Chains A and B, each alone.
Chain A
């Protein structure tokens, strides 16, 4: 059953009780990830993309309230006991984070940290684990891995550190790798190297990757499918070429239009006016309505659900058909329009 989803998320909701009220960071997110697939998740800061994935990993603080279903290879992991979740984390699903400068423990050597990751899930000797660690350092492109394994993190550059982090994440051959903004803190040239590393690993091991970013350019070359998130929900989802060519949700249009490129030379960039909504005091209806040029009365009352917009592309917008029919759709956010 090669079509069976490897990772299946259904109606995931995450809420945090705080002094100012309950923050509903994720409000019903569903998606599938197939084997060997790269899924990109985009959205503004605060849209819930990181929280969703932290929930999948079980890395949220104890006070977080998580409901819904997350299944890896058919096994439900929401609600697992901490000890059981620890067997999944780092072994079946791995996650890497944004800032490589602080991601590694400064007081232990890189080799030690890799060995720790490996021995957490395999009952092998330190020597064997170290040998394996060196293999993975080589796989991610660290030169002289046997020497470098004895180095401390501060002796590596940012890009190298991120590679070490990747090595640590894949050392136990996980089925899914979640990368939360892995290149945001790095130079453009280093970015390209890291992405290339991802690609190489994927080819060698058939790993599935969830790539979270706010940078669409990163996804253009790598992702198979795209998930656009807004205010804790999925706004649009589909094959990446579909979404880029014919976005069905105004927010996606806005995101795409804000990318500088050939067609924007000499013109002002489109911006989506306004700010992301507060997740504590939510208004009824679509959360994007206040900033949406296509909003109608229905949008301010009823929050749209995900519907099929054709060809496997899903969209949560009341007006998607109007958008699809309009040839000047891409210009709805341009400063000349309105």
Chain B
């Protein structure tokens, strides 16, 4: 009996959710800046992963005939003193940095959503404990935590360890947001209705409340990517993150910073890539936020 009522309830619910998503998608597409950012970001992403199959040079090759060259047709980003192609190096660094950032966001969001949901739904003692934990972890800056734990890793397979550390210690923002959403959503009538029919807690959380909180979660996850890139590249720059022979945009910047005045192209490109990736992620996040927010009303002035 409970099952049938619940499935009817769910069927109606599913229809409503589908219509909502179409509206949200429509609103996102209208956001020109976000769309442009999405295109650029996808381009960078694809290039960084498949670059080695597309581009003529790999990051290891040393073109002896073209040492320390300024950008040219042959080497659009120039070369360094060993003849290595800057474009290939930058793409490889981006690949690493983007991958790490994505992993960090996934980990942080998963933990944040789980803890935030539990905290907001069950309230009481559980909520207090989780919130104290959040506060506690916020007393020490992420850079310091990650620096302590990750600096001793050697280059090579260490990037996933770095991602885990960063992910495990940066879920606080998401958790707060999700908690807020759950605190308000649990009071809504559809939750009361579900509970009255006898739906269990876990089902309510995952099938009823969570889909409604998806908006802020997606926005948070997107913005977390930007934050993660900045932290990872900063750590790598300081020598505390990704290390040689592995690559990262931060590492590239630190390697070539001395050369800035004489061979600026070596310094500009890795940094610009970080800026562009972050900007795109932030614009997309902003576009998503606008798309999910029902109160947005833009009046043609």
Do A and B come into direct contact in the complex, CB within 8 Å? yes
Interface of A is mostly: loop
A97 within 8 A of B: no
Q: A63 touching B298 by the CB < 8 A rule?
A: no
Q: B298 touching A19 by the CB < 8 A rule?
A: yes
A17 within 8 A of B: yes
A18 within 8 A of B: yes
Interface size on A, residues (CB 8 A): 7
Expressed in whole angstroms, the minimum distance between the Cβ of B299 and any Cβ of chain A is: 5
**Closest residue on chain A to residue B27 by CB atoms:** A19
Of B298, B299, B300, B301, which is in contact with the most chain A CB atoms at under 10 Å from its CB? Answer: B299
- Complex-state Cα separation, A63 to B299, whole angstroms: 7
- Complex-state Cα separation, A18 to B299, whole angstroms: 5
A16 within 8 A of B: yes
Q: B301 touching A63 by the CB < 8 A rule?
A: yes
Contact residues of B between 262 and 301, Cβ < 8 Å to A: 297-301
Binary interface encoding of chain B residues 68-86 relative to chain A, with 1 for a CB under 8 A from any of its CBs, else 0: 0000000000000000000
Binary interface encoding of chain A residues 43-66 relative to chain B, with 1 for a CB under 8 A from any of its CBs, else 0: 000000000000000000111000
- Taking CB atoms, residues of chain A closer than 8 Å to B301 are 62-63
Size class of the B contact interface (CB-based, 8 Å): under 10
**Closest residue on chain A to residue B296 by CB atoms:** A19
- Taking CB atoms, residues of chain B closer than 8 Å to A16 are 299
Expressed in whole angstroms, the minimum distance between the Cβ of B61 and any Cβ of chain A is: 52
- Taking CB atoms, residues of chain A closer than 8 Å to B297 are 18-19
- Complex-state Cα separation, A17 to B297, whole angstroms: 11
- Complex-state Cα separation, A16 to B299, whole angstroms: 8
Expressed in whole angstroms, the minimum distance between the Cβ of B183 and any Cβ of chain A is: 20
- Taking CB atoms, residues of chain B closer than 8 Å to A19 are 297-300
- Taking CB atoms, residues of chain A closer than 8 Å to B300 are 17-19, 63
Expressed in whole angstroms, the minimum distance between the Cβ of B168 and any Cβ of chain A is: 40
**Closest residue on chain B to residue A19 by CB atoms:** B298
- Complex-state Cα separation, A24 to B297, whole angstroms: 16
- Taking CB atoms, residues of chain B closer than 8 Å to A61 are 299
**Closest residue on chain A to residue B298 by CB atoms:** A19
- Complex-state Cα separation, A61 to B301, whole angstroms: 10
- Complex-state Cα separation, A158 to B193, whole angstroms: 29
- Taking CB atoms, residues of chain B closer than 8 Å to A62 are 301
- Taking CB atoms, residues of chain A closer than 8 Å to B299 are 16-19, 61, 63
- Complex-state Cα separation, A16 to B300, whole angstroms: 9
- Complex-state Cα separation, A17 to B301, whole angstroms: 8
Expressed in whole angstroms, the minimum distance between the Cβ of A25 and any Cβ of chain B is: 13
Expressed in whole angstroms, the minimum distance between the Cβ of A17 and any Cβ of chain B is: 5
- Complex-state Cα separation, A63 to B298, whole angstroms: 11
**Closest residue on chain B to residue A16 by CB atoms:** B299
- Taking CB atoms, residues of chain A closer than 8 Å to B298 are 18-19
Expressed in whole angstroms, the minimum distance between the Cβ of A66 and any Cβ of chain B is: 15
**Closest residue on chain B to residue A18 by CB atoms:** B299
- Complex-state Cα separation, A63 to B300, whole angstroms: 8
Contact residues of A between 6 and 59, Cβ < 8 Å to B: 16-19
Expressed in whole angstroms, the minimum distance between the Cβ of B298 and any Cβ of chain A is: 6
- Complex-state Cα separation, A119 to B300, whole angstroms: 36
- Complex-state Cα separation, A19 to B300, whole angstroms: 7
- Complex-state Cα separation, A16 to B298, whole angstroms: 11
- Taking CB atoms, residues of chain B closer than 8 Å to A18 are 297-300
- Complex-state Cα separation, A236 to B300, whole angstroms: 34
- Complex-state Cα separation, A116 to B300, whole angstroms: 34
- Complex-state Cα separation, A18 to B297, whole angstroms: 8
Contact residues of B between 67 and 112, Cβ < 8 Å to A: none
- Complex-state Cα separation, A100 to B301, whole angstroms: 31
- Complex-state Cα separation, A62 to B301, whole angstroms: 8
- Complex-state Cα separation, A62 to B297, whole angstroms: 14
- Complex-state Cα separation, A147 to B77, whole angstroms: 74
Can you report 13 residue pairs joining A to B where beta carbons are below 8 Å apart? A16-B299, A17-B299, A17-B300, A18-B297, A18-B298, A18-B299, A19-B298, A19-B300, A61-B299, A62-B301, A63-B299, A63-B300, A63-B301
Other than the given A18-B298, A19-B297, A61-B299, 7 more pairs (CB < 8 A) read: A16-B299, A18-B297, A18-B299, A18-B300, A62-B301, A63-B299, A63-B301
Interface residues of B (CB under 8 A from A): 297-301
Q: Which 4 A-B pairs have the closest CB atoms?
A: A63-B299, A17-B300, A63-B301, A19-B298
